[in-house]
Chains A and B, each alone.
Chain A
Amino acid sequence: MTALPDAHGPKRSWWKSNQQALTPWLFLAPGIFMFAVYVIWPIYASFQFSFYDWDGLSPKKWVGWGNYQELWGDRNFIISLKNNIIWLVLYMLAVPAGLGIAIFLNQTVAGIRIYKSLFFFPFVISQVVVGLMFAWFYAPNFGLFFKLTEWLFGTGTAVLANPEYATYGIIVAGLWPQIAYCMILYLTGLNNVAPDQIEAARLDGAKGLKMLWYVVLPQLRPATFIAVVVTVIGALRSFDLVSIMTNGGPFGQTRVLSFYMYEKALSEYGYRMGYGAAIAVVLFLIMMVFIAGFVWKMVRDERGH
């Protein structure tokens, strides 16, 4: 605690009277400093970069709105944007699927705890490994999925080589850990559902889906909120799987904004830092819509306490 003045020094009384006001700031200082340097400032700097043309080697060149104008006519940008929307929509399936599995597992039979942890554990695995697993699963000619489709339809489908299916194939891989995440949120939520309300509803004759919709779900609202938040964020952050499973291919049809940004800014044929920054700004603004919504709700809850 070297940051605090010497307790025996002449300013002692001043310190004593202001201690309560100053302490929080001293405690916050290192965290705020790091956060400002590595998160807040870079956001501002990216906005700035997006108005330049820069290859990372030579001096920067001011191009004004040029990068954004180019984005508008960039087919690959439009594809990425479209895929991001597909991701967002389909990723939401993780929430009901997680709830379904949670309800399925919310029992007290022998060994259920082990089942719960095994169902959860895809979430613990790195997305790189998940990507490799599913790449193997989908592999042309010998992948399990390929064989399965071959057995069912006569010709196998190489999911990741097909521009129409590849994005969906990647999303399925992403859903796997995401469902596990939502499941664990709901399992904890179900644990805290008030038993007396359930019993009361049961006496009133509520059952099954009705019970779920009118009695259980309202009580699970906090869990649902967190599940939606992490799923939206997860969908927009989908970089790892795309990079590992298809590298944006076939012919760029599985790109998403997060990947396209990296590709333009840092990959073999890219190195347009300014253009990459402009893509990042667009992604950031999309994300901000959601972040603002989440934060607004959290602030409201906070004030309500």
Chain B
Amino acid sequence: MLRKPLGAGLALTLALLAGTSAIAQQRVLTFNTDTSDPAPKAAFEALIADFEAEYPDIDVQVNLFDHEGYKTAIRNFLTADSPDLANWYAGNRMKPFVDAGQFMDVSDVWADNNLNDQLASAESSMTIDGKQWGVPYTYYQWGMYYNKTLYEQVGAKVPETYDEFVENCKLFKDAGIDCLTTGTSAMWPAAGIFDYFNLRTNGYDFHMALTAGEVEWTDPRVRETFAQWNRLVEPGYITANAAAIDWQDAAALLSQGKAANYIMGNFAVATFKDGGMTDDTLGFFPFPTINPDVARAEDAPTDTVHIPAGAKNPEDAKTFLAFLARPDVQTKLNTALGQLPVNNQSTVDEADPFLSQGFTMLSEASGLAQFFDRDAPAEMAASGMEGFQEFMAYPGNLDDILGRLESDRQRIYK
């Protein structure tokens, strides 16, 4: 009823708006991304420029979303106003969209470009029902980033074990420095901390069982995880008011020398360096050992690009995915992102100490977790992260928190 005149009016408006770029006959490829932070933004701009140079008859139009807002927006635009390409995440995080038929099966792109071989490490996290639903382009390690200058200042050594780490915290505390910083205003940084405490205390299999809803949150092993964590919370080794701090603000605390350690993903290196740190002052080490009997597993989330089922130009979108999967493209993109390429024929920037350390660490890991909010279903992830955030402010509420998480688990995994 209203559709026609409005559509025409809209088309006219768009035509007027687009009047400046009067390049005729170019096929348009719309790409919704959440790469709003400076480094990813630049990396994607370069990626798209390269793509357009190779395929001059395709015009990629990017809709840039704010990183946090994107996670909400994607639900809306997938059902309503589909782009041809969209960023997302692997694993459980893409499952609701695949189940609802919102992502396009791109197994043909994988088969035609020999990706099952080249992207082998990520194949399982991209496969549902024996089909592939997108192309992974990057992954990155999580771990401990630290301020080398502060370590020298208080005479701390890079810890191997968690006991040593806690020892160091005493030194930092005495010097008036936050031993561990974090900003959980957007909640997910708290999940990274939990992941590591749980992985180091109980191991990979337990962690995966917990996020899959197979273990009770009131289990003594979960309590042990929090007891280890509490060795930092109770003495006040973690930045106060973390719940009102954005993760970038907390990163500033590290670069300004007000905090010594930060459990983060490798994408944060760009933020630390923007804050004035260099390879000489910023360091990385894997999260220290808590239980020596537990094999080391790491958090290494994979970021992906998908074709929505409602894409208007799926042909060119597949061309783009094939391009994105190429070893040389992933090498260049990940050098700019400061992350690790998924394609096993790509090369890692050896000169980058964080990447080479991360690469070694991940290849030695006994298992790779995606991340709490990608391994657990959305609702569980939300209540879990809220609980972690609360625990860091009020460790005394632990019983209450775990009780709530357990009742959420029973409801969510029905």
Direct contact between A and B in the complex (CB less than 8 angstroms)?
yes
Check if A58 is an interface residue, CB within 8 A of chain B. Answer: yes
What residues on B are CB-neighbors of A160 within 8 Å?
244
Number of B residues, CB within 8 Å of A: 34
What residues on B are CB-neighbors of A271 within 8 Å?
75, 96, 378
Report yes or no: A269 in contact with B241, Cβ–Cβ below 8 A: no
The B contact surface, by secondary structure, is helix
Q: Nearest Cβ distance between residue A175 and chain B, in whole angstroms?
A: 20
What residues on A are CB-neighbors of B411 within 8 Å?
70
Assuming the A-B contacts A251-B390, A269-B379, are A75 and B404 also in contact, with contact meaning beta carbons closer than 8 angstroms in the complex?
Answer: yes
Instruction: Choose from B79, B101, B389 the contact partner of A250 (Cβ within 8 Å).
Output: B389
Q: Nearest Cβ distance between residue A236 and chain B, in whole angstroms?
A: 23
List the A residue with the shortest CB-CB distance to B394: A163
Assuming the A-B contacts A58-B99, A250-B389, A251-B387, are A158 and B244 also in contact, with contact meaning beta carbons closer than 8 angstroms in the complex?
Answer: yes
User: Interface code B222-239, partner A: CB below 8 Å = 1, 0 otherwise?
Assistant: 000000000000000000
List the B residue with the shortest CB-CB distance to A249: B243
List the A residue with the shortest CB-CB distance to B401: A251
Q: Nearest Cβ distance between residue A35 and chain B, in whole angstroms?
A: 16
Report yes or no: A158 in contact with B241, Cβ–Cβ below 8 A: yes
Check if B72 is an interface residue, CB within 8 A of chain A. Answer: yes
What residues on B are CB-neighbors of A139 within 8 Å?
244
> How many angstroms between the C-alpha atoms of A55 and B382 in the bound complex?
16
Report yes or no: A250 in contact with B378, Cβ–Cβ below 8 A: no
> How many angstroms between the C-alpha atoms of A246 and B71 in the bound complex?
18
Q: Which of A239-284 contact B (CB under 8 A)?
A: 246-247, 249-252, 266-272
Check if B212 is an interface residue, CB within 8 A of chain A. Answer: no
Report yes or no: A57 in contact with B389, Cβ–Cβ below 8 A: no
Check if A161 is an interface residue, CB within 8 A of chain B. Answer: yes
> How many angstroms between the C-alpha atoms of A271 and B71 in the bound complex?
11
> How many angstroms between the C-alpha atoms of A160 and B393 in the bound complex?
13
List the B residue with the shortest CB-CB distance to A272: B379
Instruction: Choose from A57, A140, A161 the contact partner of B97 (Cβ within 8 Å).
Output: A57
Q: Which of B311-362 contact A (CB under 8 A)?
A: none
What residues on A are CB-neighbors of B264 within 8 Å?
none
What residues on A are CB-neighbors of B245 within 8 Å?
140, 161
What residues on B are CB-neighbors of A247 within 8 Å?
185-186
Assuming the A-B contacts A249-B389, A250-B244, are A57 and B378 also in contact, with contact meaning beta carbons closer than 8 angstroms in the complex?
Answer: no
User: Interface code A21-33, partner B: CB below 8 Å = 1, 0 otherwise?
Assistant: 0000000000000
Report yes or no: A269 in contact with B381, Cβ–Cβ below 8 A: yes
Check if A56 is an interface residue, CB within 8 A of chain B. Answer: yes
Q: Which of A51-109 contact B (CB under 8 A)?
A: 55-58, 70, 75
User: Interface code A130-159, partner B: CB below 8 Å = 1, 0 otherwise?
Assistant: 000000000110000000000000000010
What residues on A are CB-neighbors of B102 within 8 Å?
57
Number of A-B contacts (CB under 8 A): 78
What residues on B are CB-neighbors of A161 within 8 Å?
240-245, 393
Q: Nearest Cβ distance between residue A74 and chain B, in whole angstroms?
A: 10
> How many angstroms between the C-alpha atoms of A56 and B382 in the bound complex?
18
Q: Nearest Cβ distance between residue B299 and chain A, in whole angstroms?
A: 19
> How many angstroms between the C-alpha atoms of A268 and B187 in the bound complex?
12
Check if B298 is an interface residue, CB within 8 A of chain A. Answer: no
> How many angstroms between the C-alpha atoms of A158 and B100 in the bound complex?
42
What residues on A are CB-neighbors of B243 within 8 Å?
161, 249-251
User: Interface code B90-134, partner A: CB below 8 Å = 1, 0 otherwise?
Assistant: 000000110111100000000000000000000000000000000
What residues on B are CB-neighbors of A140 within 8 Å?
240-241, 244-245
> How many angstroms between the C-alpha atoms of A249 and B190 in the bound complex?
13
Check if B406 is an interface residue, CB within 8 A of chain A. Answer: no
List the B residue with the shortest CB-CB distance to A250: B243
Check if B59 is an interface residue, CB within 8 A of chain A. Answer: no
Check if B195 is an interface residue, CB within 8 A of chain A. Answer: no
> How many angstroms between the C-alpha atoms of A275 and B105 in the bound complex?
31
> How many angstroms between the C-alpha atoms of A148 and B390 in the bound complex?
26
Give the most central of A139, A250, A267: most B CB within 10 Å. Answer: A250
What residues on A are CB-neighbors of B75 within 8 Å?
56-57, 266, 271
Check if B375 is an interface residue, CB within 8 A of chain A. Answer: no
Report yes or no: A268 in contact with B386, Cβ–Cβ below 8 A: no
> How many angstroms between the C-alpha atoms of A249 and B373 in the bound complex?
18
Q: Which of B53-102 contact A (CB under 8 A)?
A: 68, 71-72, 75-76, 78-79, 96-97, 99-102
Report yes or no: A57 in contact with B72, Cβ–Cβ below 8 A: no
What residues on B are CB-neighbors of A158 within 8 Å?
240-241, 244
> How many angstroms between the C-alpha atoms of A266 and B387 in the bound complex?
21
Q: Nearest Cβ distance between residue A156 and chain B, in whole angstroms?
A: 9
> How many angstroms between the C-alpha atoms of A56 and B100 in the bound complex?
9
For the complex of A and B, 10 pairs with smallest distance between CB atoms: A161-B244, A57-B100, A269-B382, A250-B243, A161-B241, A268-B71, A251-B390, A158-B241, A269-B378, A140-B241
Using a CB–CB cutoff of 8 Å, the interface residues on chain B facing chain A are 68, 71-72, 75-76, 78-79, 96-97, 99-102, 185-187, 240-245, 373, 378-379, 381-382, 386-387, 389-390, 393, 404, 411
Question: Could you list some 11 contacts between A and B, CB below 8 A?
Answer: A55-B100, A57-B100, A70-B411, A160-B244, A161-B243, A249-B187, A251-B393, A266-B75, A267-B72, A268-B71, A269-B381
Given A56-B75, A163-B393, A270-B378, 6 other A-B contacts at CB below 8 A?
A55-B100, A57-B97, A250-B389, A252-B386, A269-B373, A270-B382
